[in-house]
A = this chain, B = another copy of it.
Amino acid sequence: MSKITKVNAAILIIGNEILSGRTQDTNTSTLAVWLNSLGVQVNEVRVIPDIKKIIIETLNILRKNNDYVFTTGGIGPTHDDITAESVSEAFGLKYEIHQEAYKILESYYKSGEFNEGRQKMVWMPHNAELILNPTSGAPGFSVENVFCLPGVPSILKSMLGGLKQKIIGGDPILSHTISLRTIESEIANSLSKVQDHNKDVEIGSYPFFHAGKLGVSIVLRSENQSRINNCISQVLEFVKEKNIEIVDR
């Protein structure tokens, strides 16, 4: 049997607006689903304020502990956009005008519109690789295993297509969901036994409430389909014994 290759990532959400509750983060979920599809598992997410010292410290921990780090937020034109400067310091690189980014934005804007505010967006760590932005011009960038994306969800989404070929994932993480018309406490013991017999499959149990009825979704995740299949059989066995209605499988 071939060894399973695991590749992991951390997501670093930079922004006071998430910590104040003013803005609901959706980038975590977007990035996590996308990374899973590339065979990259998200190990950890952190949300931190727009404070340079904290960004640098956190980034230096995450980039050592993970194959990839994805940051969101703080790459716009205003004073609170300090991600590029912080990444430069974290890597000990010069923070400077990126010539290619400069050319992209110079031709993106009409003559005279490429003002000082916008020019801030071409300042990046020395030799950063650009992540192109098909929505609003200003590119993101990467340095080694750190990929810096904007905070605006629609712009972030539009940049993932161009980023895909830069990410080398491991074995894809497969997932299967069985939804049952039951409550967690009715199946807790049986499910616990299935988990004990299948330690290398991640088994999650999530209550749901849909169309006026309660239910539980059992989510089975692994890089190995046959191990997931084993779990499915064992779950269906106790579901049959207990005479539980299957909503979806």
Contact = CB atoms under 8 A, between A and B. Distances in A.
> Chain A at the B interface: mostly helix, strand, loop or mixed?
mixed
A29 interface: yes
Number of copies: 2
A248 to B, nearest CB: 14
Interface in A39-79: 41-50, 76-79
B117 A186 contact: yes
A196 B26 CA distance: 31
Contacts of A50: 204
Nearest to A37: B21
A19 B43 CA distance: 7
Contact of A28 (B35, B36, B47, B192): B47
B36 A20 contact: yes
Interface residues on A, range: 35 or more
Contact of A25 (B25, B49, B117, B195): B25
B45 A18 contact: yes
A210 interface: no
A157 to B, nearest CB: 13
A-B pairs with lowest CB-CB distance, top 9:
A21-B32, A117-B188, A117-B185, A21-B33, A45-B47, A79-B192, A78-B205, A118-B185, A77-B185
Interface of A: 13, 16-26, 28-36, 41-50, 76-80, 115-118, 120, 152, 173, 175, 184-189, 191-192, 195-196, 202-207, 219, 221
